[in-house]
Chain A
Amino acid sequence: MKSRSWWLALLLAIAAPLLAATPDMPRFQWQSFTVANGLPNDHVFCVLVDGERIWAGTENGLALYEGGKWKVFGTADGLAHRAVLSLALDKRSGDLWVGTMGGLSHVSAGRIDTYNQLNSGLSNDVVYGVAVQGDYIWTATAAGASRLNTRTGQWSLFNERNTPMYEIWTYGISVGPDKVYYAVWGGGVLEYDIKTERWKDYNDPDGETEIVLFKDQGLIHEITTSVSYIDKVLWVATYFGDSRYDGRNWHNFMAKDSGLPSNFTNQVKALDANRAWFSTDKGLAYYDGTNWAIYRPALDTGKPEMYVRDADGQITNIAVDSAPAHNYVLAVDFQGNDIWVATAKGLSHGIRNK
């Protein structure tokens, strides 16, 4: 009996660390680009991966990384404005659509055509978001949504007059095969059904407080910044936490009850129905459906930092020697297993090493 207890104790001693092992989260070697090595500006609003080519939208131009070199496009090249806020790739044509502070630009094999509120039907020159849906180019502007039919040239505007959009400051777009979603800053989320051409809104469920009163009650907050729709699941970023909606149930994430490093989220970009990346003001966060991983320069020391939060809230620091360029993260895009991260102080390439 005594011998059996000793063996059981030994087994537990061996198994315990294994049972409590740190979740295997993606690890990266980070390389960063700034003005010092070719970017036109360190303030990078957006990033887009097109195969081996990387497009970065900065405060002072559009930059293309190709063959180890940066090429910069500015207003002298026809770009609508120097501040590039959003990017979308038309995978069918290979053309790039660029949302700027001064209109929408269309980049095709080096040629740049620009649409603005004076020369076209675009509703407003401040284009926060852009997305491609077949022959349509959807834009999120400071005065509602605009849709360009590239075959006919017709512009359709969507705003408070023809949708449930009670705020017209549209911020982000995500397009799926059946739906188009808009993040409306101060106006929740709008859903456009491609088949029925009808709009539906998602707002704070009580209609008064802008924020949910009870966890998972509904959309977490009215001030939405980004949407990501994939596998019929909608992810929403706000300045007060983030939401996931599967068509029936909402699940909300806040810093206090999840691994989010901050409630202030600039972008959410999902990999699938369960996994998503969050760009916050306090670092880049990855959620695998259970566990969280945070990548950033440490808020106090600025040294590279990565930590993992498991389902039980257990936090484990991972030793790393590199991190994204800054903890104020604005956007990400994926290149295979790698990730590109737009920050307020440079563009970072996360090279997956595990």
Chain B
Amino acid sequence: MRLGSTTILRSGLVALIAAMLVITCSVVRAPMANADAAEARYLSPGAMLFSPDGRRMYVVAERGDQLLILDAKAQTVSARIAVGHAPRGLAISPDGTRLYVTNSWDDTVSVIDTKSLAAVQTLVTGAEPTGVVITRDGKTLYVANRLSDDVSLIDVASGQEIKRLMAGRGASYLALSADGKRVYCTHVYPKITGSRTLPQSEITVIDTDRQIVVDRIPLHNVGGVFQMALSPDGKLGVAAQLRPKNLIPLAHVEHGSVFGNSLALFGPAVSGVVQVPLDELDRYFAMPYSVAMTSDQSKLYVSTGGSGSVTAISLPKLLSFVRSAPKDIGNDLSASANYVTSRIPVGANPRNLLLSPDGKTLYVTNRMDDTIDVISTRTDKVVSTIDLGGRKDYNALRQGERIFYATKYSFQGAFSCANCHIDATFDGIQWDLEPDGFGKDIVDDRSIEDLSGTEPFKWNGGNPNMATECGPRTEKFFYRSQSYSAEELANLVTFVMALPVRPNRYRLPAGEMTASQERGKTIFNRAAYKDGRPIPKENQCAYCHSGPKYSNNQLFDVGTGKATDRSPKIDVPHLPNVAYSAPYLHDGSARSMEEIWTVFNPKDTHGVSNDLTKDELNDLIEYLRTL
């Protein structure tokens, strides 16, 4: 029988439909069903790791609230697993049967069975869990909690948290030493050391046998510290970090006088801590984030999220240079020529790095592209790009987010919004911004969560809207460029004004208040002194801190102005999540909420607090923490 073309066409169509059904069914059987509307969401890939057999890659998608399963050989996504909100960290059990994903907005870890690809358990952690590692024996999980500034130790067998160890501020990233005996923790915020001081950070070192902190490696003049790589021989650690130049006016972008994008080398190989720059004399490689070290310790790779590149470094050259160089090379922009071997252009906002088990391939997640660039470690060139799926169009929010993290808008690519607003929050540092004049109006970096409806901006209220704040002011005085198009500025403003408020951990689950919080609320709303005299309206907490964001958007002199301030009038700050944004007051002079009133309110000009007992002040603070 001879088949006509129509018949052939019809048969082909049937076969195609059948094939599609099979594909569809396999997709339905796969855990994609749990990741609702997966295709409609941006993914923002981050942490990655290989299965022990090297066949799979697992990738966390922070914006997509998913864990992606990739066929390592085919370099395609084979499944998507829904996890909690804003997943960040990823670890795998030594036998490869369990994955652990930190859900940073849920304060949990999702435990995934790698065979069934199903979430089988949820573990409770501290506030905003980020980095996670598991011990070599698979018995203990270590989780870095960014908002509670500690590390949770979780017994894997019982799923119970054993203890929490105090880390530094903004504890975020963990690394397990090659011998499994130490866990190292870095922090995205510096310690609170007082207004106008150089930032100080630490690398917290935990002994996995004793399960206690045994060392705190000091990092001087360091703000945000991100991911680390530890050498197989146990002699060297390398952490990506920022060196803010906050004691000089933010004016000389051209001399590297805003941020030093650098690495901290630590361990016996360098006899302590040595900070080395990544930047060059006329080019900057901003927001170093992840570090990978080849197993033969010949190469280092560093992702620089702001500049859209990966920096390749000869480790022998670096160590040789460090051992022969002058003592303090942290700010020497000519230094990198001695050890940087190439800059590898990759996608937008590169973050996590992962070396293949054979060391021949380096993977980098492009957070703003929803892709992974694949780099040959032989040629140090991108050889392919893995599309992780997700939403393909760049709406205004996504465009704005890409601009927020990109340094190309600043002179020589020195820095971006995200340098100061770490992961769209703050940096805990006080700056001398040039628009006010040198030495004038020293200001603390404000949180930018939940800004809508809180205009004007700046501590002196000088910017009537976000377009002014982010546009001409930023371009002219910070970036030393005027490079935003009207559309780009509009998108950036859209993104910043839409930044959500993180979950508040001080509120009880059902929204009710503790007795202390209730008492504090009464104090916050009071209109009379304890002796019955009325408190003037302007001096009542709830007058200035009113409305849904707890700001009436006006300027007041609350007696906290300094001699360097051009005006004593301060913009009333909004208060959502104020608990997380220490230090306080416009210049960061109050290291804690208590100091706002115990130190800086002697005349009851910033609300009436001097008739309060210590109990009552504590109650007020407990209430403020719920806002």
**Contact surface of A with B, Cβ cutoff 8 Å:** 92-95, 106, 108-111, 117-121, 123-124, 135, 143, 150-152, 154-157, 159, 161-162
* Interface flag for B205 (CB, 8 Å): yes
- Provide the main secondary structure of the chain B interface: mixed
Q: For A120, what are the chain B residues with a Cβ–Cβ distance below 8 Å?
A: 592, 594
Give chain A residues whose Cβ lies under 8 Å from the Cβ of B165: 93
B32 at interface by CB-CB < 8 Å: no
Distance in angstroms between the alpha carbons of A269 and B165 in the assembled complex: 29
Q: How far is the CA of A10 from the CA of B91 in the complex (A)?
A: 81
Interface string of B578-620 (1 = CB under 8 A from A): 0000000000000110110011000000000000011101100
> What residue in chain A is nearest B207 (Cβ atoms)?
A94
Cβ contacts B306-343/A at 8 Å (1 or 0 each): 00000000000000000000000000000000000000
Chain A residues near B212 (CB-CB < 8 A): 93-95, 109
**Are A121's CB and B148's CB within 8 A?**
no
Partner of B614, one of A94, A119, A121: A121
In angstroms, Cα B618 to Cα A159, docked, is 14
Can you sample 22 A-B contacts with CB below 8 Å? A92-B163, A93-B163, A93-B165, A93-B166, A93-B213, A95-B213, A109-B213, A109-B214, A110-B216, A111-B202, A119-B595, A120-B592, A120-B594, A121-B594, A124-B614, A135-B164, A150-B164, A150-B166, A151-B164, A156-B516, A159-B615, A162-B615
Given contacts A93-B213, A108-B166, A108-B213, contact A155 B598 (CB under 8 A): no
- Kindly identify which residue among B505, B592, B613 contacts A119, using a CB–CB cutoff of 8 Å: B592
CA A118 to CA B593, docked complex, whole Å: 10
- Check B618 against A121 for contact (C-beta < 8 Å): yes
- Chain A's closest residue to B164 (CB) is A151
Q: Are A152 and B506 in touch, CB under 8 angstroms?
A: yes
Judged by a CB distance under 8 angstroms, whether B210 is at the interface is yes
Given known A-B contacts A93-B165, A119-B592, A151-B164, A110 and B215 have beta carbons under 8 A apart: yes
B224 touches A (CB below 8 Å): no
Pick from B164, B205, B591, B592: contact of A109, CB under 8 Å: B205
Chain B interface residues (CB < 8 Å from chain A): 126, 148, 150, 162-166, 202, 204-205, 210, 212-216, 505-506, 516, 591-592, 594-595, 598-599, 613-615, 617-618, 621-622
Q: Does A118 lie within 8 Å of B599, measured CB to CB?
A: yes
Select one of A94, A121, A151 contacting B213, CB under 8 A.
A94
Give bound CA distance, A153 to B416, whole Å: 33
- Nearest-Cβ distance from residue B214 to partner chain A, whole angstroms: 6
Q: Give A135 to B204 CA distance when docked, in angstroms.
A: 20
Quick one: given A106-B166, A151-B164, A156-B516, are A117 and B614 in contact (CB under 8 Å)? yes
A residues within 8 A CB of B126?
Answer: 151
> In the docked arrangement, what's the CA distance between A123 and B595, Å?
14
Q: Which residues on the B side are within 8 Å of A118 (C-beta)?
A: 594-595, 598-599
In the bound complex, residues from chain B placing their C-beta under 8 Å from that of A123 are 614-615
For A143, list chain B residues within 8 Å (CB).
614
CA distance in complex: A150, B152 (Å): 13
In the complex, chain A residues whose CB is within 8 Å of the CB of B615: 123, 157, 159, 161-162
Q: How far is the CA of A120 from the CA of B591 in the complex (A)?
A: 10
Q: Which one of B162, B163, B618 contacts A155 once the chains associate, using CB atoms below 8 Å? A: B618
Residues of A within 8 A of B148 (CB): 151
Closest chain B CB from A256 CB (angstroms): 42
Across the interface, which residues of B come within 8 angstroms of A150, CB to CB?
164, 166
Given the known A-B contacts A154-B622, A157-B615, A159-B615, are A109 and B215 also in contact in the complex, defined by CB atoms under 8 Å? Answer: yes
From B205, B214, B613, B614, residue with most partner A Cβ within 10 Å: B614
CB distance from A274 to the nearest CB of B (A): 32
Distance from B126 Cβ to chain A, minimum over Cβ atoms (Å): 7
Please give, as numbers and ranges, the residues of chain B lying within 8 Å of A92 by CB-CB distance: 162-163
Contacts A92-B163, A119-B594 given; does A109 touch B614 at CB 8 Å: no
In the complex, what distance in Å separates the CA atom of A121 from the CA atom of B162?
Answer: 27
Q: How far is the CB of B594 from chain A (nearest CB, A)?
A: 6
Chain A residue at minimum C-beta to C-beta distance from B165: A93
Q: A118 to B618: give the CA distance in the assembly, Å.
A: 11
In the complex, residue of chain A having the shortest beta-carbon distance to the beta carbon of B210: A94
Q: Which residue of A lies closest to B168 (CB)?
A: A111
Which 4 A-B residue pairings sit nearest by Cβ, starting from the closest?
A94-B212, A118-B598, A121-B618, A109-B213
In angstroms, Cα B598 to Cα A156, docked, is: 17
A94, A108, A109 — which one has the most chain B CB atoms within 10 A of its CB? A109
How far apart sit A143 and B617, CA to CA, in the bound complex (Å)?
15
- Bound state CA distance, A234 and B621, in angstroms? 36
Q: How far is the CB of B584 from chain A (nearest CB, A)?
A: 11
Give the Cβ gap from A282 to chain B, nearest Cβ, in Å.
Answer: 38
Residue of A nearest to B618 (CB): A121
- Bound-state CA distance A155–B616 (Å) is 11
A contact residues around B162 at 8 Å (CB): 92
Q: Which residues of B contact A124 (CB under 8 A)?
A: 614
- Chain A residues with Cβ below 8 Å from B592 are 119-120
Q: Of the candidates A93, A110, A119, A157, which one forms a contact with B618 in the assembled complex, judged by CB atoms under 8 Å apart?
A: A157
**Bound CA span A159–B613, Å:** 11
Chain A proximity of B627: nearest CB distance (Å): 15
A348 to B525, CA, bound (A): 56
Interface centre among B148, B210, B216, B594 (most CB of A within 10 A): B594
Q: Which residues of B contact A95 (CB under 8 A)?
A: 166, 212-213
CA distance A124 to B618 in the complex (A): 13
Q: Give Cα A161 to B595, complex, Å.
A: 24
CB distance from B245 to the nearest CB of A (A): 25
- What is the distance, in angstroms, from B619's C-beta to the closest C-beta of chain A? 9
Q: Shortest Cβ distance from B298 into chain A, in angstroms?
A: 33
Apart from A93-B213, A150-B166, A152-B505, list 11 A-B contacts with CB within 8 A.
A93-B163, A93-B165, A108-B216, A109-B212, A119-B592, A121-B617, A143-B614, A151-B126, A152-B506, A157-B614, A161-B613
State the Cβ distance, A203 to closest chain B Cβ, in Å.
23
Give Cα A155–Cα B126 distance, bound, in whole angstroms: 18
User: Which A residue's beta carbon lies closest to that of B214?
Assistant: A109
Interchain CB contact under 8 A, B598 and A117: yes
Contacts of B594 in A (CB 8 A): 118-121
What is the distance, in angstroms, from A19's C-beta to the closest C-beta of chain B?
Answer: 51
CA distance A215 to B370 in the complex (A): 80
* Complex contacts, B506 vs chain A, CB 8 Å: 152
Q: How far is the CA of A94 from the CA of B214 in the complex (A)?
A: 9
Closest Cβ–Cβ distance, residue B304 to chain A (whole Å): 30
The CA of A162 and the CA of B210, in the complex, are separated in Å by: 39
Cα A157 to Cα B613 with chains together (Å): 11
Inter-chain CA distance A326–B150, complex, in Å, is 43
Q: Considering the chains assembled together, what is the distance between the CA atoms of A150 and B598 in angstroms?
A: 22
Min C-beta distance of A133 to chain B, whole Å: 14
Residues of B within 8 A of A159 (CB): 615
Cα distance A306–B595 in the bound complex, in angstroms: 53
* Separation of A162 and B613 alpha carbons in the complex (Å): 13
Residues from chain A with a CB closer than 8 A to the CB of B166 are 93, 95, 106, 108, 150
Are B216 and A109 within 8 A (Cβ)? yes
State the CA gap A134–B165 with chains docked (Å).
12
Which of A95, A110, A117, A135: most chain B CB closer than 10 A? A110
Q: Please, which residues of chain A bring their CB within 8 A of the CB of B618?
A: 121, 155-157
Measured between C-beta atoms, what is the minimum distance from B150 to chain A in Å? 8
Instruction: Judge whether B216 and A111 touch: CB under 8 Å.
Output: yes
Contacts of B163 in A (CB 8 A): 92-93
Contact yes or no, B621 A121, CB < 8 A: yes
Bound-state CA distance A162–B164 (Å) is 30
CB distance from B513 to the nearest CB of A (A): 13
A111 CA / B210 CA spacing, docked (Å): 18
- For the complex, give the distance between the alpha carbons of A157 and B617 in Å: 11
Chain B, Cβ-Cβ closest to A158: B615
Minimum CB distance partner of A161 in chain B: B615
A91, closest chain B residue (CB): B212
Closest Cβ of chain A: how far from B46's Cβ, in Å?
26
Which A residues touch B622, using CB under 8 A? 154
Bound CA–CA A123/B165 (angstroms) = 25
**A124 (CB) vs chain B CBs: closest residue:** B614
In this complex, which of A150, A154, A161 has the most chain B Cβ atoms within 10 angstroms of its Cβ? A154
User: Which residues of chain A come closer than 8 Å to B214, judged between CB atoms?
Assistant: 94, 109
